[in-house]
C-alpha cells in the first residue's frame, strides 16, 4: 500500500489520505477508517488513479456525499474514491444542463427552477450527489433520473472512458448498468423543459414543506432505508407494524418517518444493521413482504 500511495502522489492525483475515518464522510456519522481515501480533482486524475489501483490489485469503492450509505464499523479495506471539486459544477445551455457528478442534487434542483426549467422538482428532497443519483436512478414524487437523463460520462475500472445514453444506462427501479459493471459517473447531461418559474417554485415549496414536516432531516440519517415494495410504501408497512421508535443502541427507527433510521449519537453500523434485520423479519412475518434495503453497505463485515 505504501508503494501505491507513493505512486499516486507522484502522479499528482488529488488528495490521498491513509486510514481516513469515514464517520466524517457519511450523513449517518457512522463508519470505520478507509485504508486509503483518494480524492481526484479531474477526469485524468481519476483515470490514472483507477489504472494504478488495477495494476496493484487494490479493490475500490466510490463514496459521494455519504447519504444512502452505511459504512462498516471495521472500515473499508482497499481504497475509497471521493470525487473532488473539479467535479462540482453545473452549466446550463437552453433546456439542457451539464453537471459534474459531485454536484449537490438538491442544489441542482433549486438552480434549475430559478432558470425556469421543469423536470427536476422531484430532486429537491434527495440528498447526495448527481453521480449517486444517476447510479441509483434516484426518484421521488412519481419521477426519476431515467425520465430526464440525456447522457452520462463514465470512467471504467481500467481508466477507459465512455459516454452512455439513457437507454444504455439500463435504468429500472433504483438500478442502473453500474450495478453490474463497475465504473464511475463523472458528468451527466439532463434534458429539461421550459416552465413557469412560479409554478416550479410552488411545487418545490410544497415538497420542501412536506419533507420538513415528515422527515427527520435535522438528525444524522441517510434517507430512506428500504425500497418501496410494489403497490405499497415501506414507511406505511413499518408504521402499521408498530415499529416506530424501535431502538438498538443509539440507532432508532424514526418517530417522524418510519422508513428512516436516525443516529442519536454514537450509533454503530451493527446497531443499524440489527434494526434493519428486525424490521425485515417483522414485516415478512406480518405481511409476507421482504423489504429490500435501499442503502448501500460498504466495508468489512
Q: What is the pLDDT of residues 69-100, one digit of tens each?
A: 999 999 999 999 999 999 999 999 999 999 99
- Which pLDDT belongs to residue 193? 96
- State what percent of residues in the chain have pLDDT above 90: 83
- Which pLDDT belongs to residue 2? 86
Q: What is the mean pLDDT of residues 28-49?
A: 96
Q: What is the pLDDT of residues 125-158, one digit of tens each?
A: 777 899 999 999 988 778 899 999 999 999 999 9
Q: What is the mean pLDDT of residues 269-291?
A: 97
**68 vs 187: which has the higher pLDDT:** 187
- Which pLDDT belongs to residue 207? 79
Place of cell 462498516: 72
Q: Is the pLDDT of residue 56 over 80?
A: yes
Catalytic positions, written as ranges: 174, 224, 294
Q: How many C-beta neighbours within 10 Å does residue 92 have?
A: 15
Q: DSSP of the chain, one letter per residue? A: -HHHHHHHHHTT-SEEEEEEEGGGG-TT----EEEEEEE--SHHHHHHHHHHHHHHT--EEE-SSSTTEEE-TT-EEEEEE---GGG--EEEETTEEEEETTSBHHHHHHHHHHTTEES-GGGGG--SBHHHHHHHT-EETTEEGGGTEEEEEEEETTS-EEEEETGGGT-BTTB-GGGTS-EEEEEEEEE-EE--HHHHHHHHHHHHHHHHHHS-TTSB--S--BPPPTTS-HHHHHHHTT-TT-EETTEEE-SS-TT-EEE-SS--HHHHHHHHHHHHHHHHHHHS--PPB-SEEES--
Confidence (pTM): 0.90
* Domains (range + CATH), the chain: 2-82 (3.30.43.10), 88-199 (3.30.465.10), 216-298 (3.90.78.10)
Amino acid at each position: 500500500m505504501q508503494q501505491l500511495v507513493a505512486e499516486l502522489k507522484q502522479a499528482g492525483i488529488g488528495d490521498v489520505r491513509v486510514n481516513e475515518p469515514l464517520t466524517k464522510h457519511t450523513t449517518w456519522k457512522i463508519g470505520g477508517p478507509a485504508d486509503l481515501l483518494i480524492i481526484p480533482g479531474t477526469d485524468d486524475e481519476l483515470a490514472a488513479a483507477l489504472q494504478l489501483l488495477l495494476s496493484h490489485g487494490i479493490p475500490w469503492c466510490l463514496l459521494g456525499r455519504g447519504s444512502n450509505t452505511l459504512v462498516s464499523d471495521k472500515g473499508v479495506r482497499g481504497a475509497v474514491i471521493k470525487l473532488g471539486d473539479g467535479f462540482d459544477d453545473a452549466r446550463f445551455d437552453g433546456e439542457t444542463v451539464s453537471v459534474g457528478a459531485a454536484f449537490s442534487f438538491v442544489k441542482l434542483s433549486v438552480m434549475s427552477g430559478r432558470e425556469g426549467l421543469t423536470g427536476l422538482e422531484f430532486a429537491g428532497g434527495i440528498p447526495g450527489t448527481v453521480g449517486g443519483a444517476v447510479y441509483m436512478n434516484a426518484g421521488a414524487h412519481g419521477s426519476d433520473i431515467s425520465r430526464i437523463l440525456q447522457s452520462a460520462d463514465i470512467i471504467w475500472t481500467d481508466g477507459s472512458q465512455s459516454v452512455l445514453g439513457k437507454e444504455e444506462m439500463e435504468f429500472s427501479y433504483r438500478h442502473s448498468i453500474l450495478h453490474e459493471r463497475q465504473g464511475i459517473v463523472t458528468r451527466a447531461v439532463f434534458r429539461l423543459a421550459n416552465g413557469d418559474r412560479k409554478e416550479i417554485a410552488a411545487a418545490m415549496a410544497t415538497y420542501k414543506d412536506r419533507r420538513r414536516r415528515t422527515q427527520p432531516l435535522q438528525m444524522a440519517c441517510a434517507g430512506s432505508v428500504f425500497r418501496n415494495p410494489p403497490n405499497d410504501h415501506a414507511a406505511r408497512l413499518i408504521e402499521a407494524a408498530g415499529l416506530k421508535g424501535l431502538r438498538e443502541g443509539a440507532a432508532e427507527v424514526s418517530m417522524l418517518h418510519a422508513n428512516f433510521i436516525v443516529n442519536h449519537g454514537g450509533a454503530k453500523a451493527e446497531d443499524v444493521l440489527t434494526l434493519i434485520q428486525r424490521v425485515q423479519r417483522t414485516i415478512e412475518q406480518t405481511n409476507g413482504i421482504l423489504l429490500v434495503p435501499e442503502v448501500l453497505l460498504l466495508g468489512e463485515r
